[in-house]
Amino acid sequence: MPILTIEAVRAFFQKKAAEPILTIAAIRENPWNVISDKLPENPCELLLNAAYIAATYCRDAEYMLMMAARDGAYVPEWWTGGEDDPDVHEESEERGWRAEVKLSEISGLRGEDIEEPTG
């Protein structure tokens, strides 16, 4: 039976789970997968186009929700008004920022500038 060393145990626990790779099927399943999944190393044009549309949708939707929250017309389901809750609009603002970052990455791969949010 092999002897376990500290280095072997440390290496085992330091391994990260592989990030999911973005596919068209993943975008069809949930457009937000464009934000959480990693783009493949050499994405095809069709995947980049689908990812661009999904990221634009995510960014624009969160921008709209953020503005509605600021106007008092939207309160997220998770918000309780408790001491630990952030301002109502902050979740949408953060999610919109993440979508904007991904949209920038996709636009760079497509060789174009990103469009401004609608609204």
Q: What is the pLDDT of residue 108?
A: 92
What pLDDT digit, counting tens, does each position of 36-95 carry? 999 999 999 999 999 999 999 999 999 999 999 999 899 888 788 888 877 778 888 999
Q: What is the pLDDT of residue 26?
A: 97
Tell me which residue of 92, 119, 94, 114 sits closest to 104, measured CA to CA.
Answer: 114
SS3 of 68, please?
helix
Tell me which residue of 34, 33, 96 sits closest to 59, measured CA to CA.
Answer: 96
Q: What is the pLDDT of residue 114?
A: 60
Model pTM score? 0.76
Assigned token pair, 81: 């008004």
Q: Are 107 and 113 in contact (CB under 8 A)?
A: yes
Q: What's the mean per-residue pLDDT of the chain?
A: 86
Q: Which residue has the higher pLDDT, 109 or 17?
A: 109
